């Protein structure tokens, strides 16, 4: 479909904007993941009987001294009147005494926390520190972070991608979106307190290596000389319809795995990871919309008095927005359930594979390859991408990625569960571990 070769200046500009796009994408994904963590903290504040919030980043231990000589007040046996009004107070004191008696042989008891701490209510707690107001503040923070992340993914990231596509083809630009993984791996421990595992880092390295190979030995053709008629005819190809049918069937299968309660945790995690990237791989709509804009300014179209074909441009932009927003919505739900490194790596890897297949079908990528080296190394780059995806799919324990157990980390949720269980047993003491 393309005839002109990208100049070195255009190639550098395209790569530069693609790197900027990856930085925006990385920051947006981190913000979205962080918003789910903050919302989980908000949920923890609105459950149980806790009132005050203490935020710590490391484990904190508090030693409580237990007075073993304390005994419950005894009932005055000389009193024979009705003491039903004292029964609730007496029962509560007896309950506290029983709890202390279980630890009578321990000189001190240590309470260990991690992440978010909630202390019991106190009588003189300031109104500004009540759990409802703290929860509302957390909720606003979560919405703000998610809004900023969505803005970056829906506006800023596509804008820089559009500018980059004005200088180079999708086959060379798509792999550089993998730099998003670098930013996420670097900043996840600092922002999210999620340290990528060694196997996750190795898997991301395979994905990055595959993207570099694809970018270096892929199709380096742009859309110079392409007319609006060429764009329309490209959508009449039988192989393009087959690709669309195959992608729809693939998405239906992934949604079935996600919704099926009998699906294994690993399979469900894999489906969530690759679904968003598979949809976003429809980069042809955005690229062809730009081609129509440039071709409409040619002399041949001006003679007809047509600046921009409205229906064609509307259809292409609708397809581009649908693919981008659909993939983003799936990614947001994936990041709600799984850590940022896994979600982003699977999204980027599946996106590059999907976009590469689309380019081969829609733009005849392999027809534009020259020499044995390109014919061999371009598929090798795709294979490296697939290896990274497979490593990610089996890298982590599926148990830690179940719904409701990943947001904030497994340790965080375990500590919160223990704290709430303790509060149900006694409103006046914390979980003793």
* Confidence at residue 123, expressed as pLDDT on a 0 to 100 scale: 45
Within 13 Å of residue 291, how many CA atoms lie on the same side as its CB? 27
Q: Which residues fall within 8 angstroms of residue 329, CB to CB, at 6 or more apart?
A: 276
- What are the residues facing 55 on neighbouring strands? 116
* Confidence at residue 7, expressed as pLDDT on a 0 to 100 scale: 59
Helix axis angle for 372-395 and 265-280, nearest 10°, is 140
The CA distance from 70 to 321, in Å, is 69
* Contact call for residues 273 and 393 (beta carbons, < 8 A): yes
Rg over alpha carbons for the chain, rounded to the nearest Å, is 29
* Confidence at residue 111, expressed as pLDDT on a 0 to 100 scale: 41
Within 13 Å of residue 36, how many CA atoms lie on the same side as its CB? 24
Identify the DSSP state of 152: I
* Confidence at residue 25, expressed as pLDDT on a 0 to 100 scale: 86
Long-range contact list for 125-134, CB < 8 A, 24+ apart? 125/51, 125/52, 129/51, 129/52, 129/53, 130/51, 131/45, 131/46, 131/50, 131/51, 131/52, 131/53, 132/46, 134/45, 134/53
Consecutive sets of 10 residues in the chain, 433 residues long: mean pLDDT of each?
54 81 89 90 68 43 45 45 46 45 43 44 51 83 92 84 74 68 86 85 86 74 69 86 92 94 89 92 80 67 54 86 89 90 86 83 77 83 86 62 44 40 42 39
Q: Which residues fall within 8 angstroms of residue 371, CB to CB, at 6 or more apart?
A: none
* Contact call for residues 251 and 276 (beta carbons, < 8 A): no
* Confidence at residue 2, expressed as pLDDT on a 0 to 100 scale: 43
Identify the DSSP state of 153: I
Residue spans per domain, the chain: 8-27+158-410
Identify the DSSP state of 154: I
pTM, 2 dp = 0.64
CA angle at residue 174 from 278 to 335, to 5 degrees?
A: 50
* Contact call for residues 103 and 109 (beta carbons, < 8 A): yes
If we measure between CA atoms, which residue out of 363, 361, 25 comes closest to residue 168? 363
Q: E strands within 12-115? A: 52-55, 60-65, 108-113
């Amino acid at each position: 479909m393309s005839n002109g070769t990208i100049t070195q200046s255009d190639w550098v500009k395209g790569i530069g904007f693609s790197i900027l796009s990856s930085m925006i994408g990385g920051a947006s994904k981190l913000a979205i993941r962080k918003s789910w963590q903050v919302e989980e903290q908000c949920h923890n504040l609105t459950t149980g009987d806790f009132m005050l919030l203490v935020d710590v980043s490391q484990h904190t231990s508090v030693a409580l001294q237990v007075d073993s000589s304390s005994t419950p007040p005894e009932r005055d046996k000389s009193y024979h009147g009705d003491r039903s009004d004292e029964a609730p107070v007496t029962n509560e004191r007896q309950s506290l005494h029983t709890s202390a008696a279980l630890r009578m042989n321990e000189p001190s008891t240590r309470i260990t926390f991690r992440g978010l701490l909630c202390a019991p209510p106190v009588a003189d707690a300031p109104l500004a520190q009540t759990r409802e107001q703290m929860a509302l503040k957390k909720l606003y923070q979560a919405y703000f972070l998610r809004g900023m992340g969505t803005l970056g993914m829906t506006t800023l990231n596509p804008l820089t991608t559009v500018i980059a596509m004005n200088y180079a083809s999708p086959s060379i630009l798509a792999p550089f979106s993998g730099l998003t993984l670098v930013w996420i791996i670097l900043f996840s421990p600092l922002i999210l307190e999620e340290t990528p595992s060694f196997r996750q880092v190795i898997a991301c390295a395979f994905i990055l290596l595959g993207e570099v190979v694809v970018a270096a030995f892929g199709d380096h053709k742009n859309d110079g000389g392409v007319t609006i008629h060429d764009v329309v005819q490209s959508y009449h190809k039988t192989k393009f319809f087959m690709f669309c049918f195959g992608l729809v069937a693939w998405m239906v299968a992934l949604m079935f795995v996600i919704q099926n309660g009998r699906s294994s945790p690993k399979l469900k995690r894999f489906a969530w990871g690759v679904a968003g990237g598979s949809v976003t791989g429809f980069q042809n709509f955005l690229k062809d919309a730009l081609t129509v804009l440039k071709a409409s300014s040619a002399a041949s179209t001006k003679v007809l008095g047509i600046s921009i074909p409205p229906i064609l441009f509307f259809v292409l932009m609708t397809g581009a927005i649908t693919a981008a927003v659909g993939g983003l919505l799936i990614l947001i739900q994936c990041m709600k359930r799984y850590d940022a490194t896994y979600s982003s790596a699977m999204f980027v890897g599946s996106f590059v594979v999907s976009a590469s297949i689309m380019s081969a079908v829609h733009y005849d990528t392999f027809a534009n390859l020259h020499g044995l080296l390109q014919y061999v190394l371009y598929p090798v780059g795709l294979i490296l991408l697939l290896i990274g995806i497979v490593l990610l799919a089996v890298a982590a324990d599926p148990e830690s990625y179940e719904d409701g157990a990943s947001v904030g980390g497994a340790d965080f949720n375990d500590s919160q569960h223990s704290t709430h269980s303790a509060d149900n047993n006694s409103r006046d003491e914390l979980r003793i571990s």
